[in-house]
């Protein structure tokens, strides 16, 4: 029985991914090139800081959710969590995104009829889960302007990715890692990082089941510095006060702190009819008692994270790791001998657009939600309230 899909990541990608987790012969051979990459990235960032590059300030606070580790670390669930937290704090948030695979470079709104091929899979998912205005475009600044013009009630913008998109000024930066930490700690192509671990940011979040002191120390920003100065909370304006340190914030991680995020998925929904639901524990028990063959597909940056969650729920899986943003046009399940196929919600938004897959009764979607200490949201809100508008 196959354990991987024909569309699994290439051998080159797999080799590099493994090499990036340690400082072995291949990584060491590429290290001199990584110094050049790191230097160019640093010069580019410095040019924008010194005002040598065109960088636009929007009239509302901008919060960037991004990563320096290449590939997926869980930005979309974090973005959804942050939008919901900002709304609960009294803001009216909107989201801008590049929209991976989007057909247009000009700003384009994400509506109920938008498809992943038109605007990208993650923006479709964010719009569906949050109900807030979402705009995609190659230029985040242009997308932000278009979003504010179309939705003047929006008073804060969250950008899904775009950490290195310095043409848009930001008030708060949230950098997300996962259990892989910083890998071997080197920048591309010798390592998995777009920028060095010491990159300045306001908050560091780690998407991992266990946040060990070693992992927290590896991802902590040694040069963390706030982008704007928060003002003290005034109880009369309803702004939540910043909380004291707590277990989810790694001790000794510096002023920026390191916050733990976990992804929780307790139920599954049949793709053919999303109202038909079952808990993962129920499905796993049913599969064992009936001898069902169960597969799991994940076209995300780190499929192992999804597979691990399902195994923890009791599933014995055929694993199908797919390339990030996989479009499913190659029909990867056609020859798969499985009675039940579990997939991520990000993959489901694309499969739902393909009739053959939409009507496949074997396909079940596993929505996940980010779980983070609420004090992080309070501190982000406090910073946003203290950032002046343009």
Q: Are residues 281 and 380 in the same domain?
A: no
Q: Are residues 167 and 234 in the same domain?
A: yes
Give DSSP secondary structure letters for 74-115: SHHHHHHHHHHHHHHTT--EEEEE--TT-S-SS-EE--TT--
Q: Are residues 222 and 336 in the same domain?
A: no
pLDDT tens, position by position, 28-44 = 999 999 999 999 998 99
Q: For the chain, what is the domain count?
A: 2
Could you tell me if residue 228 is inside a domain? yes
Q: Are residues 247 and 176 in the same domain?
A: yes
On the question of a cis peptide bond just before residue 23, with omega within 30 degrees of 0, the verdict is: no
154 three-state secondary structure: coil
Q: Are residues 161 and 301 in the same domain?
A: no
pLDDT of 389: 53
- d(C-alpha 239, C-alpha 309), whole Å: 36
**Could you give the percent of the chain with pLDDT greater than 90?**
71
Q: How confident is the model at residue 230 (pLDDT cuts 50, 70, 90)?
A: very low
- pTM for the model stands at 0.86
Spatial CA neighbour of 375 closest among 253, 243, 282, 258: 243
- d(C-alpha 350, C-alpha 358), whole Å: 9
Q: Are residues 361 and 380 in the same domain?
A: no
Q: Are residues 199 and 291 in the same domain?
A: no
CATH number of the domain to which 285 belongs: 3.40.50
Q: Which residue range is the domain that position 327 belongs to?
A: 266-367
Could you tell me if residue 112 is inside a domain? yes
Residues 6+ positions from 85 with CB-CB distance below 8 Å:
374, 377, 380, 381
Q: Does pLDDT of 218 surpass 60? A: yes
Could you tell me if residue 352 is inside a domain? yes
Could you tell me if residue 13 is inside a domain? no
Could you tell me if residue 280 is inside a domain? yes
183 three-state secondary structure: coil
Q: Are residues 80 and 214 in the same domain?
A: yes
pLDDT of 1: 40
Spatial CA neighbour of 30 closest among 201, 188, 176, 197: 188
Residues 6+ positions from 25 with CB-CB distance below 8 Å:
none
Can you say whether residue 120 is alpha, beta or left, with left for phi > 0 and alpha for psi between -120 and 50 degrees?
left
Could you tell me if residue 272 is inside a domain? yes
pLDDT of 58: 96
User: What is the rounded average pLDDT for all residues in the chain?
Assistant: 86
Q: Are residues 358 and 212 in the same domain?
A: no
């Amino acid at each position: 029985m196959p354990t991987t899909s024909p569309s699994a990541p290439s051998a080159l990608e797999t080799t590099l991914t493994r090499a990036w987790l340690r400082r072995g012969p291949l990584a060491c051979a590429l290290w001199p090139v990584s110094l050049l990459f790191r230097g160019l990235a640093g010069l580019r960032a410095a040019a924008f800081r010194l005002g040598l590059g065109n960088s636009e300030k929007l009239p509302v606070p901008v919060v960037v959710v991004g990563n320096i580790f290449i590939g997926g670390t869980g930005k979309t669930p974090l973005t959804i969590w942050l939008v919901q937290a900002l709304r609960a704090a009294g803001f009216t948030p909107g989201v801008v995104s590049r929209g991976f695979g989007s057909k247009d470079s000009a700003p384009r709104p994400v509506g109920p009829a938008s498809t992943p091929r038109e605007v990208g899979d993650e923006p479709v998912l964010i719009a569906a889960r949050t109900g807030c205005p979402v705009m995609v475009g190659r230029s985040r600044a242009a997308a932000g302007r278009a979003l504010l013009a179309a939705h003047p009630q929006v008073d804060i913008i969250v950008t899904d990715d775009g950490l290195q998109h310095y043409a848009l000024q930001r008030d708060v930066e949230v950098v997300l890692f996962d259990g892989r930490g910083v890998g071997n700690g080197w920048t591309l192509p010798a390592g998995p990082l777009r920028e060095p671990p010491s990159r300045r940011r306001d908050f560091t979040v780690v998407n991992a089941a266990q946040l060990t002191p070693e992992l927290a120390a590896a991802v902590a920003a040694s040069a963390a510095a706030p982008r704007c100065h928060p003002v003290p909370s005034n109880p009369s304006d309803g702004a939540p006060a910043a909380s004291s340190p707590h277990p989810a914030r790694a001790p000794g991680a510096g002023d920026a702190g390191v916050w733990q995020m976990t992804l929780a998925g307790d139920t599954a929904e049949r793709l053919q009819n999303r109202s038909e639901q079952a808990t993962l524990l129920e499905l796993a028990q049913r599969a064992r008692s009936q001898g069902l063959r169960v597969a799991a597909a994940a076209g995300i940056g780190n499929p192992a994270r999804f597979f691990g969650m399902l195994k923890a729920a009791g599933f014995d899986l055929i694993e199908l790791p797919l390339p990030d943003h996989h479009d499913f046009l190659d029909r990867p399940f056609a020859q798969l001998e499985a009675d039940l196929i579990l997939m991520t919600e990000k993959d489901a938004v694309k499969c739902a657009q393909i009739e053959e897959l939409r009507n496949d009764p074997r396909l079940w979607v596993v929505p996940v939600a980010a779980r983070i200490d609420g004090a992080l949201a309070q501190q982000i809100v406090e910073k946003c309230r203290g950032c002046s508008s343009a």
